[in-house]
Structure 1
Amino acid sequence: MTALPPGTAPGTPAEGVADAEEAGVPEVAEAADTPEGAGEVAEDSVAEDSAPAAEDSAEGAEGGEDTAEAGDGGDAPGEGDTAATGDTAAELSEAQAELVAQRELRARIEARKAEKEGPVAAGTKLSGQAADLLAAVRAVESGEKPGASFFASAPAPRRPAPLPAAPAPVRTQAPQPARVAAGPEALAAVRAVLGEGGAPDSLTPQVADALGEQAADVLRTDPWQLLAVPGVRPEQADGFARALLGAECGPDDPRRAAALVAWTLERASVQGHTALPIAAVKAALAERSVPDVDEAVRHAVDEGVVLVFEDGVAALDTEPDDGEEDTPEEEAAPVEVLLGLDRYALAEESLADGLARLANAPVKDDGSDWEQAAAAAPSPSAAELIRAVAGHGLVTHSGGEAARAESAAVVTAAHGLGLRAAAAAHTRDGRRRLAGAVGAERAFTVAALLSGTEGPGRDEDGALALDVLVVQDAPQLDVEGAAMLVESLPDGCRLVLGGDPEVLGSAGAGRVFADVLAARAVPHVASRTPDPGPLGELVSGIGAGELGQVEAPGKEVVIVPVRDAGEAVHRCVQLVADSVPRAIGVPAEQTQVITVGHGGSAGTRALNAALKQRLNPGPGRFAGFDPGDRVAYAEAPGRTSVGVVGSAGPDGLHLDCGGEPLVVPKERVESALRHGWALTAHQAAGMRWPAVVAVLPGDAAQGLSRSWVYTAFGRAERHLSVVHGVDQALPRAVAEVPAPARTTRLTPLLAALLRTPEAE
């Protein structure tokens, strides 16, 4: 394998695809990237598949401003009469059931916060290590201990207590009903206060949902609580506060500072962070003209708006300089200071405790012959994985697409031994592929397991009736979803977290799979089974940071150079509609276009418009869609299903998702559905197609990273065409640009709970 020449990508030249040059490309001078394109195209962020409310929270290392897509929640045509008639279905859909389950988890978190009634002293909302640190600092302040004693008093890592013999705690068997919507009087009060502050009436339902039945009183007391409504920006909240408070409103208002701290951390969560360094929070506050950022952060911590971790309290409440030289103990190297929202802090702690519970619980000795099952495994790596699962409650497994067969072999082996075994994937497509390996009765999506719409059912304690669970696509697990899943598993259940660590991470906050691997405290099996063929060789090289030339005698990889975005769109349509079907034998309906972002002149919007015009023109008579349109449906933030429009009915728009019927409720058509011939790489994660056309126009260069290229190119099973207009930005991204880092706390939590001599 040789290195790429400048400006090229691996594979066969464009002429290798029949008809690729027959249609001709007009000689157009290379156009400069437009500011709009440059600003929008590099938005393939963790937030892409978030709800539309997170649109403005995705600006940062990974995101842009066009996150409110359907598929991630917006920019779909208006809802038409045909799809907007009739009553909604009586039963909860899978997505609705999952949201109910999430509300249940958050309700339990809120209950923990409200365990004590009455006034709460400053700082008492902290828990765990943060509370211990605060107690140590206040002992220093009161004179009970010298300042140097702070570091010595920092709590040691927690070790798990011996496993009790008592039965597992009772879990709720079914999700609780969703929160009752605010009544007409509450909505009218919210509408009135929004009007006084100059905010639009259209925000009323969102404000009531975010702030509850007393939303109007909350806003009058603290106008900056408007920032709790997804999509509201600080300058809008400031204007609202000025209108309500008048002369009392100022940039140094502690209510404003506390709300800005929470908003900063919420925005960071859209980029995958569960916490932020205190310096980053202070810098964000300074950009918003907060006069005293140290006091603002201290106030937010004291009020319980955020939690502080590691050496955070010491950084907030340092001793004044007394002019004396510091002792060596006082000159100790500083520890990183983190601030986080309790929502994610509690989710990470719950997840760490749950994983430790599974890992520390003795596996059941039921007399099963695991060794015989391992001997019958289809590969040495599969045999190694089966042996690891036989003796441990928590195992990690990494590898490419071929490695999925190894974790599936665990389910087959466990079922053959008479155990209750199942496997779960991130997407419907992943479940379909799983079902082919382990049987449809043992293959589910993670979301369906959590919502209860699929799965083995629950035992008498409310836990999933399973002895072995294999989770593929584990990199797509966010921390809240992972916490819910682990909490649903009974003691003694064996859990396998498997996936490809090189792919793009979850759309939600956290990096669960990477953090568990980094803890190095549970058995890990790395697959030795390579992905086959030229595509496997290409993608494996990308994972290692090398974009190499591969031999593709069957035109498995084809390069289509372009000079500008307009040419990229033209060649993309030509490949999907003509060249790939004729030369490769893959029809247009089995070819997926993947690009870097939604906006720009060659983003998903532009490509979908051009592909619809060529492949399925029509007036959009079903809420902007026609029968035969390929669409992307955001069932929940971070989870996209691709299907074809069939018809519309009183219950909504009917889709065919790979032979599986799916109904998009009429009230969600506008916000959660868009055309899907072209997707972003984040939306495509967890799915594969026979052919993929990756479109990389010149203004996409800033959105490229190794993980993006690895994910996009790895979605192809038989053929990959690369519409290449980024010159050296592609090999440079593969060699030098890793995925943007995420700040999380799960690794140290797990390292403390699962500490072993080997890990130390």
Structure 2
Amino acid sequence: MSTETPEDAEPERADGTPAEGAQVSEAEAELAAQRLERERIERRRAERQGPIEAGAKLSGTAADLLAAVRAVESGEKPAAAVFEEARPAPRRAAPEPVRRAPAVPPGVPAAGAVEDVRGVLVRGGAPEGLAVQAAGVLGEGAAEVLRADPWQLLRIAGVWPEQADGFARALLGAEAGPGDERRGRAITVWLLEQAAQAGHTVLGTAGLTDALGRQGVPDPDEAVQNAIAEGDVLVFQDALEEDEDQPVRVQVGLERFAMAEESLADGLARLIDSVPKQDGTGEEWERAAATAGGSAGELIRAVAGHGLVLHTGGEASLADPAALLNAAHGLGLRVWAATHSPLRRAGFAALVEGPGVATVTGLLSGAEGPGRDADGALDVDLLVVLDAPQLDVETAALVTESLADGARLVLAGDPGVLWSVGPGRVFADLLAARICPQIASRRPDPGPLGELVSGIGVGELNQVAAPGKEVVIVPVRDAGEAVHRTVQLVADSVPRAIGVPVEETQVITPGHGGAAGTRVLNAALKERLNPGPGRFGGFDPGDRVAYSPAPGRTLPGRVVGADGDGLHLACGGGEIVVPPERVERSVRHGWALTAHQAVGCRWPAVVVVLPGDAAQALSRPWVYTAFGRAGRHLSVVHGVEQALPRAVAEVAAEPRTTRLPALLAPQVPAGADG
């Protein structure tokens, strides 16, 4: 690993994913597909069991509240760390931002309903610009809901309890007190929503009551019991066979995630128990496996006889599922692959000869993929989902419930990368449960970059020989120097010394805020690479952007132009038009991304920026993910000193509390670990 910089090769200069069609239609199709699929899940369970409008100019509390809501919507504000399990690792100062869909996809409220809500908001001192969102989230009669229970304002993303308390005092006067039953129930739900943003699908009762106490709820136990009695939350008691003193674990969660985890467990059990369709003889499958050889052959053999198979490995391991898909296609199976991002889709499509490749979102929404049969199942015999660690519980449930009996599902991915933005740790829980065959790829990632990233995966930050400047360390003293050196690397040094053009170089940094976060870096890179007045909502033609059509999804792209219809973007091989009212909350400049935004993508060159204030944000999965996005060259702008090797060696993934392991336990067969 070289400590010189790419520009050392030459004297330094003095100047130092996609949706087809309009994205609005895709987003609406995605929400509609999710609603229909959830209805289908509920029917199956029953059978088994018998956008924010700009308000007027604001100041004071109302302005702060509107700013908080916008920050959460745009992803600039990290998830609130209101629930912290006791753990040896220090609390992270700047966690990755988490953005989630609202519990109920908001519809288009009637104009009269919006006006009624606006009146209640103004009376309570809240910004009237929240009226459309409040009416959409709270549904019919939203104004009356807020009058009767002002703390329901907490259902709007970005609103905190102290803000809802002020709103309640304005509406209820002295009647609004900290011990109000409505307040306790609303904060209980809010805490569970915040926990979901941190990845948890449930919370232990002790942790939940502690968090309620910190929010000033006088009797936390009573608040939880009231929320359970009113059906706001659900309580679960999972057996702990290994602990005789505490035979059950009592946890509390929201119905939304409970339904998803139970449906996921049921769907996986159905796939495991159903007999895969025998397209092709056993001899043909074995011939295909022998031809592929190695771990690809092992994967083909496992899929031949099982409805669910897990596959693990790094970038080079993609050749294994590609060989599987090609072989299954040759045997006459209807096969498809699904990826996390359009960039991954394009790269993987080059490895397969006949099968189709879609994004997971496009597959579920119907915008991409094979379509569905008369029963609503995907028209596939084999589905391979890549980037499986990015599946949250809701998406994973939709995938499994979309497959017919007899279909085969392969979940493939690198277990070392960051987990999903949404709640759950599906791939990790499945690997730990050992309910089906697991095939580990024997294809190591090549070269100095592969050696570096592989070492990080086992907790070692190794010095690697990089004769072709594949890995370069750029030491910096402070954030200002980090920004300067980053711009210099992207605009000058990497193109000249490495031969990778600017448009194929991606900057990755731990967070949006800070002196060297995405906002500061993007402003500096725009000034150098594409200066302009930002006449289209802050953007100019040629700007690199990160477009978020839905919470948790990021599509890197470029601004093509703008007109009365909105901002025109080129993303993932297609053109997307973002309506003017959605630009502010869904489009940001994209020369610099966070690691969560970059996961599932890869670029020829990557510049990872680690300013001094990022030390506590680092973990082994973060470093593994960020460094692993580089295909040919990695520059590390290094200002965290020993915090980097310490994070790689000592800071594992933040723990997440889920029920999936308990739900999968009855499915563990003897010798199922393949």
TM-score bucket of the superposed structures, by smaller chain: 0.7 to 0.9
Q: Find the counterpart in structure 2 of residue 62 from structure 1.
A: none
**How many residue pairs get matched?**
612
For the 8 Å contact 2:329–2:354, the answer to whether it is kept is no
Q: Deviations over 1:415-458 (max 9, x none)?
A: 00011001010000011012111248601000000110111111
Question: Would you say 1:240 and 2:155 are equivalent positions?
Answer: no
2:599 is equivalent to residue 670 of structure 1: no
Aligned counterpart, 1:412: 326
Match of 1:93 among 1, 10, 25: 25
Aligned match of 1:364 in 277, 280, 283?
277
For each residue in 1:17-46, what CA deviation from the matched residue of structure 2 results, as whole angstroms up to 9, or x when unmatched?
Answer: 4368735799xxxxxxxxxxxxxxxxxxxx
Residue 197 of structure 1 and its aligned partner are, at CA, apart by 1.9
Please list every run of 5 or more consecutive structure 2 residues that lacks an aligned counterpart in the other structure: 51-103
> Match of 2:73?
none
Higher RCO structure, 1 or 2 (CA under 8 Å, sep 6+): 1
CA contact (8 A) 1:502 1:707 kept: yes
Match of 1:700 among 614, 620, 626: 614
Q: CA deviation at 1:719?
A: 0.2
Counterpart secondary structure, 1:14: coil
Aligned pair partner of 1:18 in 8, 11, 15: 8
Of 516, 534, 540 in structure 2, the residue corresponding to residue 626 of structure 1 is 540
Question: Quick one: distance in 1 between partners of 2:373 and 2:133?
Answer: 37
8 Å CA contact retained: 2:107, 2:136: no
TM-score w.r.t. structure 1 length? 0.77
Counterpart Cα distance in 1 of 2:491 and 2:563: 30
Q: Does 1:686 align with 2:600?
A: yes
2:523 corresponds to 1:609: yes
C-alpha deviations, 1:633-683, integer Å up to 9, x for none? 012222211111112233322222354333323332111111100000000
Tell me the equivalent position of 1:488: 402
Q: Which residue of 1 aligns with 2:443?
A: 529
Q: Partner of 2:202 in structure 1?
A: 275
For residues 406 and 292 of structure 1, the distance between their equivalents in structure 2, rounded to whole angstroms, comes to 55
SS at 1:645 equivalent: strand
Are 1:333 and 2:333 an aligned pair? no
| Partner Cα distance (2:433, 2:479) in 1 | 44
- CA RMSD of the aligned region, Å? 2.5
Of 387, 391, 413 in structure 2, the residue corresponding to residue 499 of structure 1 is: 413
User: In structure 2, how many angstroms separate the alpha carbons of the residues matched to 1:181 and 1:302?
Assistant: 31
Inter-partner Cα distance in structure 1 for 2:532 and 2:311: 47
CA contact (8 A) 1:464 1:488 kept: yes
Cα distance between partner residues in 1 of 2:243 and 2:619? 41
**Per-residue CA distance 1:371-416 (angstroms, 9 max, x = gap):** 1111121x40000000000000000000000111111211111100
Between the aligned partners of 1:732 and 1:25, the Cα distance in structure 2 is: 35
- Corresponding residue for 1:725? 639
User: Do the aligned residues in 2 keep the contact of 1:479 with 1:512 (CA within 8 Å)?
Assistant: yes
Distance 1:746 1:215 in 2: 34
| Residue among 470, 488, 497 paired with 1:583 | 497
194-203 vs 523-532, greater mean Cα deviation: 194-203
Distance 1:357 1:676 in 2: 42
Counterpart amino acid of residue 224 in structure 1? W
Give the drift of 1:462: 1.6
The structure 2 residue matched to 1:375, chosen from 281, 290, 296, is: 290
DSSP 3-state at the match of 2:549: strand
From the superposition, tell whether residues 742 and 178 of structure 1 become closer, same or farther in structure 2 (CA, over 3 Å). Answer: closer
* TM-superposed deviation, 1:337: 2.3
Tell which structure's C-alpha radius of gyration is larger: 1
The 1:600–1:187 alpha-carbon spacing in structure 2 relative to 1, beyond 3 Å, is same
Post-superposition CA distance 1:157-192 (Å, at most 9, x none): xxxxxxxxxxxxxxxxxxxx9875222222222122
Tell me how far apart the structure 2 counterparts of residues 510 and 330 of structure 1 sit (CA, whole Å): 24
Find the partner of 1:342 among 240, 255, 269: 255
Moved more, 657-666 or 573-582: 657-666
1:351: which partner in 2?
Answer: 264
Counterpart residue identity of residue 483, structure 2: V
- State the alpha-carbon separation in 2 of the partners of residues 709 and 718 from structure 1: 17
Q: How far did 1:292 drift?
A: 1.1
Q: What is the alpha-carbon distance in structure 1 between the residues aligned to residue 290 and residue 670 of structure 2?
A: 30
Determine helix, strand or coil for the equivalent of 1:639. Answer: coil
SS in structure 2 at match of 1:496: strand
Asked if the contact 1:560–1:722 (Cα under 8 Å) also holds between the matched residues in 2, the reply is: yes
Q: Encode CA deviations 1:672-728: one digit per residue, 9 max, x unaligned.
A: 111100000000000000000000011110110000000000000000000000000
- Are 1:694 and 1:721, in contact at CA under 8 Å, matched by a contact in 2? yes
C-alpha distance in structure 2 between counterparts of 1:446 and 1:506, whole Å:
13
Identify the residue that residue 351 of structure 2 maps to in structure 1. 437
3-state SS in 2 of match to 1:635: coil
Q: Distance in 2 between matches of 1:92 and 1:200?
A: 26
Which of 485-494 and 191-200 deviates more?
Answer: 191-200
Q: Is the aligned partner of 1:186 residue 2:113?
A: yes
Partner SS for 1:438: coil
Counterpart AA for 1:356: A
List alignment gaps of at least 5 residues for structure 1: 1-10, 27-70, 72-88, 116-126, 129-176, 315-328
Partner of 2:233: 306
Relative distance call for 1:90 and 1:536 in structure 2 (3 A) is closer
The verdict on how the C-alpha distance between 1:631 and 1:15 changes in structure 2, with shifts beyond 3 A counting, is closer
- SS in structure 1 of the partner of residue 593 of structure 2: strand
Contact kept in structure 1, 2:280 and 2:331, CA below 8 Å: no
719 and 455 in structure 1: CA distance in 2 versus 1, 3 angstrom threshold: same
1:193 positional shift: 1.9
2:63 maps to: none
* TM-score for both structures, normalised by structure 2: 0.87
Query: 1:171 is matched with which residue?
Result: none
2:145 to 187, 212, 218: 218
Judged with a 3 Å threshold, the aligned counterparts in structure 2 of structure 1 residues 434 and 330 are, in CA distance, closer, same or farther, namely: closer
Aligned 8 A contact 2:105 2:137 in 1: no
Tell which deviates more after alignment, 186-195 or 725-734: 186-195
> In the aligned structure 1, how far is the partner of 2:38 from the partner of 2:406?
26
Q: Following TM superposition, by how much is the alpha carbon of 1:365 offset from its aligned partner in structure 2, in angstroms? A: 2.2
How does 1:34-73 map onto structure 2 within 5 Å?
A: none
User: Closer, same or farther in 2 for the Cα pair 1:339/1:759, shift >3 Å?
Assistant: farther
| 8 Å CA contact 1:25, 1:567 repeated in 2 | no
CA contact (8 A) 2:386 2:411 kept: yes
**In structure 2, C-alpha distance between the alignment counterparts of 1:659 and 1:179, rounded to whole Å:** 29
**How far, CA to CA, are the matches of 1:648 and 1:438 in structure 2?**
36
Asked if 1:756 is matched to 2:633, the reply is no
Deviation at 1:363, TM superposition (A): 1.3
User: What SS does the corresponding residue of 1:558 show, helix, strand or coil?
Assistant: strand
Q: What are the within-5 Å matches in structure 2 for residues 503-652 of structure 1?
A: 503-652=417-566
Give the distance between the partners of 2:107 and 2:439, measured in 1 at CA. 46
SS of alignment partner, residue 373 of structure 2: coil
Residue number in structure 1 paired with 2:189: 262
Distance (Å, rounded) in 2 between the aligned partners of 1:239 and 1:440: 60
Q: Which amino acid aligns with 2:290?
A: A
Contact 1:106 1:343 survives alignment (8 Å): no
